[in-house]
Every structure is written in structure tokens, then in C-alpha cells.
Structure 1
Amino acid sequence: MKEMNLKYFIFYSIFWSINQTKCQVAKCDYSYQNYWSTGYKTTNTSYYTCYLDTRQANYNEKLIQIDGKHEIGHSDDDVKWIGNNKLKTFSSIICQKFPNLKVVQITDAELDSIEEDSLFNCNNLDHLLMHKNKIRELPEYILIKNSKLTLLRLYSNQLTTVPENFLLYQKNLEDLDLNDNQIEFLPGNIFRSLQKLELLYLYKNKLRSINPEWFVNLQNLKWLRLDGNQISDIPSKCFAALRNLEKLWIYENRIKSLKSDNFDGLQNLNILNLNDNEIFDLPVDVFASLKSLDGLSLNNNKLTTIHSDSFKSVHNKFTSIYVGDNLINAIDEKLIDDISTLFHFNMTNNICSQLYLKTRNQLKSMLKECFNNYQPRHQHQSQISRPFHHQLIASTSNICGRSSTGQGNIIGGSTISRGSFPWITALVKPTGDFFCGGTLVSNRKVLTAAHCIQDKHTTTATTASEIIVQLGVYDLKRTIEIGRIPYAVETVNVHSSWNTLSEPYDYDIAVLVLDTEVTFNKFIQPICMPNLNIVSIKTGIVVGFGKSEDTTKVHENIPKMLETPIHSNEDCFFHEYRLVKLSSKRTFCGGTGTGIGVCRGDSGGGLIVNDGGAYYLRGIVSSSLIGGPHGCDVDTYSVYTDVTKYIDWINGISTSRF
């Protein structure tokens, strides 16, 4: 994403300093969502003034019928950002009044129509956000004067198609989101001008087929989502032009078979998700051109066998195969031997139902138990024959961040298996009531969020005697389960700079010191503490008991997993300026902003990243905006405490009793 220019943002009434640029704030109100908002640069070049117009409700109602007569109180030429969530019609008056607009955001509104010439005067427009409205039809040439546009979001509307020339002049567009509409058809040359496009989201529509012509000019595309449609077939060499594609999601469709040349040309693809289709066989060499493939997910299809020939030429980086919930009763014995890098192999809920996530030698041992005709190589036999319980990590071991069991559907999925993330903890009250998550980082220390111990606007903190740390926990509704061990807390250490009365969730971190040392086993193991090498990793995993959107429960009983992008504060605020209020220099953002994210019950849990096969704690679930039917605004990013900023503080907390 392009670097953020702060003058395009509307901030809350706080002082924020980035790159030595101050933002002085005029009057603001928490009811900002119901009002017209504009941002402008002042005449003093050293300062950027962020302005939020909070007129009375009748002012807002008049704006539904834009008449161009409302006074903003400053020069129209200085307005760079404009937004409203009450408009029903978007007319040309807006761009006539504010010709230098950079960002137009009309979201979560009643917008159902757009005038053909409404954007003709906004020649400098960079971001256009009109998602979550009721738009049924797009004027074909509405963007003819907006060639500088880099981001276009039209998701969650009622579109059934997109006009052939709608994107004809968008040669600078980088991010296009059309998900969650009712699109049944797209013209073959609809994307012909989008040579710079990197992200294309077409999921959750009604597409029945894929047209290879869509992708002919998308040489820079990196992410493509086609999941949640009604696609029944992938044409030959469909994606051949997408030589820079890194991630491809086609799950939750109706695909019955694959062709050997379906993925030709995708030499940079590292993630391929084909879950929840009806695929019954994998042709020989079907993945042969995927030289960079790291993870493949084929869960919940109709596969009966897996041939090693299907994975020729993918051996350099290939680490993960997920084929759970199929009909597999046989595996080519050469599969594991030929793919030397394979580490994750998930076959849960098949005819031969065991979960495979071991080291390569342990993995082959499990295969021998399941398939009698499999014989591992002789040189590995002495290592394989060792009973697994002898390989559990001792309490004095320096090993961390390793999982002893499978990880379930990690590619685009949500469920996990018992022990797959053995460092997750549940903080419960003596009554057994769950209240927060945590992460085991040593044989005595558990990290969690400070607000789990002492919430905002309170003066009383939870004491050690009021907390029980459940390690090895998997199912909260059970009082006893295999692998679970409760630990009492000796000391509670909330960061001394945690301020319950200030608005930003700064210093939202706490360390619980357990009263006895933990004995590690395959269900209980510590995660690695972060180092500077992992800061550059831009994708993490959150595992927690947070509530799902389709339930009224306060939290889930079984932990769920979410793969989430990691964002800088700059990108975070550009996505949603309200997050400034929750952030600091010791936080970062994570999320997709597409209706999937952390929720109640996830607080205090960890965001982890994988580096070289080991998992490291990158952040702690801290805060998010309130919204949605269950109090979680998962259409925006969430804020995480940056653990890398607290290493010395964590190490300085003593576990000595004397």
C-alpha cells in the first residue's frame, strides 16, 4: 500500500505525532458517524488540522438531499477527505464543491444510486469507498475522469454485474473489492486496464464460471479470492497470465475435478485453498508448475487417494498439505519421502483418520501405523521407532514454539485440534467462568492483556487468588479433559504505565507468574518470545475462544483460529481513522476488514507468526471498535499490543520466591 499522508485523515480529539507532523483538532463528537466529515490542510504548512463537522441532526438530514448550499467553514479547495453515512443519492454537486478530494467514503449508508457524472470533477481522487450500501447498478463511465484511483471498495452491495467499461481508465488501481454482492456475470475484458492491480476480491458472489480473459492483463496481481461462489469448473491454463500471484482462494464452490494444466504459470503461488468443493481425484502433475507452493488445502472434498506424482516439482518449499474430511483410504508411499520439506500433513476425518503434524520422521512413523504397506527408509528407522512420549519437551528444554499435534484447517479455516497450539491458555475465575486468554512463554510466565486484569474506567484489579490459569485447555465446557492442568497464580504484574483512565489502549500487557513450574508435554509447551527477525513477517495467526458472529454465546467453547494480515499504524489509520483513539507507538493493527476478526473472548490471547517452522509471539489481542450485532466490528482492523516493545520488561519480572 502507498505511504499514508496524514492530511487525508479525520482524527479524534487527541494529539497524534507521526514523522514530526502535529495534528491539531477542532471540535469532535463520538456521534461522528452520523455527520458529514471533511478534512483539510491549513494555511500553516507546519500543521495539519483535522476537522470534524458536528452539526445538529437536521443538518445531516438535509445532506441526504444534497443542494450544495451548506457551509463547511473553510476553503473548498483545501478539502481532501469527505464522508457521510446517510446519503441515498451521490450527485455531481459533491465534486463540484470539493474538486480536490482525495478520499470519498460513503459507507454503511442508504446509498442506492449514483449519478453518471457524480465524480467527473474529482480528478485527484485516490480512494473511493462505497461498501455496505444498496447499490444495484454502476454507471458505466462514472470513473472516466478518475485515472488516479488506487483503491475501490464496493463490497456488500446488491450488484449483479459490472459494466464492461466501468474500469476502463483505472490504470493505477491496486486494490479492487467486489465481494459479498450478487454478481452472476462479468464481461471478459472487464479488468483489461488494471495492469497495476494487486488485490482482487470476488468472493461471496454468484459466479458460475471463471473466464480466463479476466486475468490476461493482471500480471501484477498477488491475491485473488474466488471463494464462496458457484463455480463448477476451472478452465485449462485459466491463471497462466498471473505470474506474480501469491495466494489463490477457490474454496466453497462446486468444482468436481481438476485438469493437469489448471495452475500452469503460477510459479510464485505459495498458498492454494480448494477446501469445500467436490474434487474426487488429483491428476498427475496438477501442481507441477507451482514451484513456490508452501501450503495446499483440500479439506472437505471427495478424494479417495493421494498420488506423489501430483506433487512433482513442488518440493523446494512445500511444507503443508491439508486433506481432512475426505474419503482417503490410501496414500502413495513415496509422497512423504519425495517431498523432503513436508512438515504439516492433516488427514483428520478420513477412512484412515489420524492427524499428522510431526517432524518428518515422526510423520512417517504415523503413516506406517495407519497404512501397513508403507515402509520408511532404513536410515530413519532408529529415529522413527522411538515412542513419541519420550520426545516430549522437558521443563528445562530451550525448545519453544513447536506443536506436537496437527493444526487443523490452517489455510483459510477456523477450527483447530487438541494440542495444535499448546501455548494457549484460558484464564478462569475460581467459579470456572472464562474471562480472557493468555499465552505461555516459559515454565512460570503467562502473558495476557492488562485490561483483562484491570479494565478501563475501573480502579480495582483482579488479584492472583481470583485467577486460575488453565493450560492444555481445549474444550471450556468440560471441567476435566485430557492434557488440561490448572495452575494457581503467584503474582500478577500489570505494566506500571497502564492507565485505566486514558483512552488509548497503551501498555495493555500483563504477566502472570504461576505458583509452580510447568512440566511440558505435547499439550502444554511455551511459545518463543519475539526477536527482531520476525517484525518483517506480515501474516500472523490468532487463536482464541472469541465468540462467532453466528452465535449469541459470550465465547466459544472450542478455540478457533484466524489467519490475519499485520499492518503498520499508518496503514491501519488509513483503513479506519477511528483506530487512532485505541493505538500508540507500542501497538500494531491486524485484520482483513472483511467481516472476519477477533471478538469478545479473544482478549489477552496471542497473535503469533511462523519463522523457520517455529512460532513466535508477536502481539496480544488488545482492543477493537464496537459494532456489529454482537458488539464486534469485524469490518475494521483490531489493535494488538506489540510484544517486541516489552521484552526487557517481561524478562525483568522475577519468578523467584525469595
Structure 2
Amino acid sequence: MKKILIIFVILNSSYCQELSCIYINDSINNYSCNLTIQNPYGLNNFTDISGKHLSRMTNDNVQTILSVPGSYSSNIPSIICDTFKNLIRIQLSDVGIENIDENSFKNCENLAILNLQSNKISKIDEKSFIHNSELTTLILNENQLSTLSENIFLNLQKLNILNFDINNLTDFPKSLFNSLKNLTYLNLSRNQLKTLKVEWFEDLPSLETLFMFMIQIDELPDNIFNSLSNVMQIELQYNNLTVIKHESFGISPNLTDVNFSFNQINAIDEGFINKIPIKNLNMMNNNCSNELISDYTATKETMRTKLNNCLENYEIKILETTTLINELSTTTAPACTKGNIDERICKLEDLINKMQDNMDNLREEKEGMQDNIIDLSRQNEKINEELKDQKSIVAEIQEENQQLRSTTEKLQEKLENQSQFFTTSLKELENKILIFSTRPFTC
């Protein structure tokens, strides 16, 4: 009985399996395989990949694998890289993959882009990418990873982009990123890290963009970003930060964009404001000190940075000094020399002028948005007119269909009457034949 059950499972598994390609050659001469994969039992017993190549093309010409929506496999059959050994890009998104092992990409030595987003990956073997030294982009967002092996990236010196957004990661080995000297983009967002370690970022000299929003951290350790000499953008929104310290960032000579929105910040180190060349600072929805942020905005002449809570008091001050603005606009401004009794008024005027410029810019943006709304309204009217025309056509078609139904019903009724007539006539004829056949035959 057990043998019969095993044979049944094997036969059923084979019946459910499918691995086939529809081959496409796009406008940039990228010969690709749109892969349909059905491997619900995660077997690795495929012997070939079905599909008909385009003229003069072979397996060696295939550079890209794209999974077809609806495909499913809990693993990555090694036959993919065994068959297409010159692959540059693999995209197996939303396929149901649960693990990656050493054989998954063993023979894809030219692979540069690997996209495995939106799967169920919870385990990656330490040697999974040991044969993929040409890899430049690795996308693993929206999976179920909770841990990573220390040497998993050891052979990926050319990696530029690494995305772990939306996983279950809580910690990393200290030297996890040490071999990634050319990494420029790192996304660790929407994990459960809670605590950052300086060692993670010590050997990322090329990093330019760092995303770490919604990772539940409540502080930035001293020197955490000190080694990131080329970082330009850091996204830290939706965390629990309360204090911003200069020691966390070090010198950061290229840092221009920082997003602290939706935290609980109530204090900022003056060194952070004075020593880092930030152009775009987002402090929206925080409890930050109004005075400090106002001074920063005036001193650095940055864009208006959505300082909602931070500028509430500042807006009130503008309303309270409306009379003073009118007076200053009709008189010569006092000299802003040190010790002058009007020094504070002079500085206030300068600050108010800058705020007025910002408000003028906002008005212009508002007018532009209103123009866009008008254009959209006109487009909507055109669409409504087209819909009316289409509804009219549909109504005409429905009326014609009703007429056809009526005609069909009449024909059916006529056919039924004729059929009944023929049936009656046939019975009468049969009776006559019967009567005739019973009469004696005479010459």
C-alpha cells in the first residue's frame, strides 16, 4: 500500500510540473525567456525547459528570465542556470520561493541583476551566491528573512544595489557588509532591527543612499554614520527617535538629504546644524524645538522643509508682527551693527522677508496646482462626454438585441406551429396507409 501511495505521489507531482519559455527579442536586442514555472512540490528533477526558439536563436542567446504571473515554485530549479548559462538578469517575483541554496544559481556566472522580491524566502544558504561574482543588483524585498549568514556576500565585490525592505530581520553579523566596497544603495527599511551597530557601516566607502525607515529604532549611536564619507541621502522616517546628535553623523561632507519625519524628536545638537551641509531636511510631525529649527532655516537658507509642528509658533509670530512689517516697509531699515538697539528688529525683518518669499513660492505652487485641477476637470468632462456617447451606442445595441430576441421568438413560435402541423399531417398519412394496407388487393 505504501509503495502504491509513493508511486501515486511521484506521478501526481510530475503531472503538476511545468517549466516552459515563450521567447522574445525586444528592441534593445535583449533575448529573453518569459518563464512559466509550476513546481508546487519544490522538486529539482526537471530534464528540460520546453519552448520554441526564435529564428537563429539558441539557449546561449538568452540573457533574461522573467517569471510569468501565476507561476509557482517553492525552490529555484537548477536547470534554469544549467540551460541558460549566459543569463545577465533573472526576475522571479511573486513565485512562492521559500529558500535559496548553493545550486540555485551555480552556473549563472555572468548574472548581474537578481530580483526575487515578493516571495516567501526565509533561508539563504551561505554559499548561495559564491559563483555570482558579477552580481551588481540584488533585490530581496518583501520576503520572510529573519537571519543572514555572515559570509553570504563574501564574493559580491561588484554589488551596487541591495534591498532588504519588508522582511523580519532583527540583527546582522557585524561583518555582513564588509566585502561590499562598491555598494551605493542599501535599503533596510521595514524590518525589526530596533538597534543599530556601528560595525555594520564601517566598510561601505561607496554608499550614497541609505534607507532605514520604520525599523523601530529609538536612537542613533555615536559614530554610526561616521565612516560613510560619500553618503548623500539618509531616510529615517517613522521611527522613535527623540534626539539628533552631531556625533552620530561625524563630518558627512556629502550629506544633503535627511528625512526625520514622523519621529518624536525634541532636541537637535547644534553641531548637526552648523557642520553638515544639508540642503533638504524633513522634520515633519516631530516635537522639535521651534527656535533651533527656525535659526537653522534662516542660517542655511534651505527650502521650506515641511516643519509643520516646528513652525507653528513661527507662523504665530508672523501674524503678531504684521504692523511692524508695514512700518518697516515704509522706512529705512536700521543698520544691523552689534550693540545697536534695533539689531533684533533688523534681524526679524530679514527673517520675515525670507518667510514672505517662501509664502510667495507656496502661492505660486498653489496657483499651479489650481491650473492642473482645471485641466483635469476639462479632461474629466471630455471623458464624461465620451462615456455618454458610448452609453448611447450601448443603448442602441441593446435595442437591436431586443428586436433580434423578439424576431427569434416569433420564428421559434412559427417553427413550433409548422412542426405541430407536420406531425399531425404525418399521423393522418400513417392512418391512411394503414387503412389502405388492410384492404384486399384486387386487380
Amino acid at match of 1:439: N
For the 8 Å contact 2:171–2:193, the answer to whether it is kept is yes
Report the CA distance shift for 1:154/1:381 in structure 2 as closer, same or farther (over 3 A): closer
- Equivalent residue number for residue 29 of structure 2: 48
The CA deviation at 1:304 is 3.9
Residue 272 (structure 1) aligned with residue 258 (structure 2): yes
- Equivalent residue number for residue 632 of structure 1: none
Higher strand share: 1
- Equivalent residue number for residue 298 of structure 1: 283
1:504-562 deviation digits (Å, cap 9, x = unpaired): xxxxxxxxxxxxxxxxxxxxxxxxxxxxxxxxxxxxxxxxxxxxxxxxxxxxxxxxxxx
- Equivalent residue number for residue 439 of structure 2: none
Residue 72 (structure 1) aligned with residue 51 (structure 2): yes
Report the CA distance shift for 1:368/1:146 in structure 2 as closer, same or farther (over 3 A): farther
For the 8 Å contact 2:33–2:64, the answer to whether it is kept is no
Partner of residue 460 from structure 1, selected from 382, 386, 394: 386
For the 8 Å contact 2:211–2:236, the answer to whether it is kept is yes
Report the CA distance shift for 1:176/1:353 in structure 2 as closer, same or farther (over 3 A): same
Distance in structure 2 (CA, Å) of the matches to 1:89 and 1:384? 63
1:98-128 deviation digits (Å, cap 9, x = unpaired): 1111111110121112232211110000110
Distance in structure 2 (CA, Å) of the matches to 1:103 and 1:131? 14
Partner of residue 138 from structure 2, selected from 139, 147, 152: 152
- Equivalent residue number for residue 88 of structure 1: 74
1:584-619 deviation digits (Å, cap 9, x = unpaired): xxxxxxxxxxxxxxxxxxxxxxxxxxxxxxxxxxxx
The CA deviation at 1:238 is 1.0
The CA deviation at 1:175 is 0.8
1:109-150 deviation digits (Å, cap 9, x = unpaired): 211122322111100001101000001111111100101011
Secondary structure at the counterpart of residue 48 of structure 1: coil
Residue 258 (structure 1) aligned with residue 244 (structure 2): yes
TM-score normalised according to structure 2 size:
0.67
- Equivalent residue number for residue 103 of structure 1: 89
Distance in structure 2 (CA, Å) of the matches to 1:367 and 1:116? 69
Distance in structure 2 (CA, Å) of the matches to 1:454 and 1:240? 56
Secondary structure at the counterpart of residue 213 of structure 1: helix
For the 8 Å contact 1:118–1:142, the answer to whether it is kept is yes
Unaligned runs of 5+ in 2: 1-17, 325-341, 390-443
The CA deviation at 1:278 is 2.5
1:607-656 deviation digits (Å, cap 9, x = unpaired): xxxxxxxxxxxxxxxxxxxxxxxxxxxxxxxxxxxxxxxxxxxxxxxxxx
Distance in structure 2 (CA, Å) of the matches to 1:234 and 1:89? 38
- Equivalent residue number for residue 439 of structure 1: 372
- Equivalent residue number for residue 346 of structure 2: 378
1:158-202 deviation digits (Å, cap 9, x = unpaired): 011221111111111111110011110111111111111111100
Relative contact order (C-alpha < 8 Å, sep 6+): which is higher? 1
Distance in structure 2 (CA, Å) of the matches to 1:61 and 1:284? 59
Report the CA distance shift for 1:79/1:280 in structure 2 as closer, same or farther (over 3 A): same
Task: Give 1:240-639 correspondences, 5 Å limit.
Answer: 240-291=226-277, 293-307=278-292, 339=299, 341-344=301-304, 346-349=306-309, 352-353=312-313, 355=315, 365=318, 368=321, 376-378=344-346, 381=349, 404=360, 421-425=366-370, 439=372, 447=375, 452=380, 460=386
Distance in structure 2 (CA, Å) of the matches to 1:379 and 1:258? 27
Secondary structure at the counterpart of residue 421 of structure 1: helix
- Equivalent residue number for residue 147 of structure 2: 161
Partner of residue 176 from structure 2, selected from 186, 190, 193: 190
Size of the aligned set, in residue pairs, is 348
For the 8 Å contact 1:92–1:115, the answer to whether it is kept is no
For the 8 Å contact 1:201–1:224, the answer to whether it is kept is yes
Distance in structure 2 (CA, Å) of the matches to 1:192 and 1:383? 47
For the 8 Å contact 1:91–1:115, the answer to whether it is kept is no
After alignment, is 280-289 or 344-353 more displaced?
Answer: 344-353
Partner of residue 180 from structure 1, selected from 166, 171, 175: 166
Distance in structure 2 (CA, Å) of the matches to 1:196 and 1:212? 19
Identity level (%): 23
Report the CA distance shift for 1:189/1:287 in structure 2 as closer, same or farther (over 3 A): farther
Secondary structure at the counterpart of residue 123 of structure 2: coil
1:562-602 deviation digits (Å, cap 9, x = unpaired): xxxxxxxxxxxxxxxxxxxxxxxxxxxxxxxxxxxxxxxxx
- Equivalent residue number for residue 12 of structure 2: none
For the 8 Å contact 1:64–1:86, the answer to whether it is kept is no
Higher helix share: 2
Amino acid at match of 2:288: L
1:322-376 deviation digits (Å, cap 9, x = unpaired): xxxxxxxxx6xx5565x162452655346944659xxxxxxx95685699xx975
Secondary structure at the counterpart of residue 306 of structure 1: helix
Unaligned runs of 5+ in 1: 1-33, 308-320, 322-330, 357-363, 392-401, 407-417, 426-437, 441-445, 464-658
Secondary structure at the counterpart of residue 109 of structure 2: coil
Secondary structure at the counterpart of residue 173 of structure 1: coil
TM-score normalised according to structure 1 size:
0.46
Residue 208 (structure 1) aligned with residue 194 (structure 2): yes
For the 8 Å contact 2:25–2:32, the answer to whether it is kept is no
Distance in structure 2 (CA, Å) of the matches to 1:261 and 1:280? 17
Task: Give 1:634-649 correspondences, 5 Å limit.
Answer: none
- Equivalent residue number for residue 112 of structure 1: 98
1:54-90 deviation digits (Å, cap 9, x = unpaired): 98xxx85689755132323342222211132422211
Distance in structure 1 (CA, Å) of the matches to 2:176 and 2:130? 14
For the 8 Å contact 2:246–2:271, the answer to whether it is kept is yes
- Equivalent residue number for residue 470 of structure 1: none
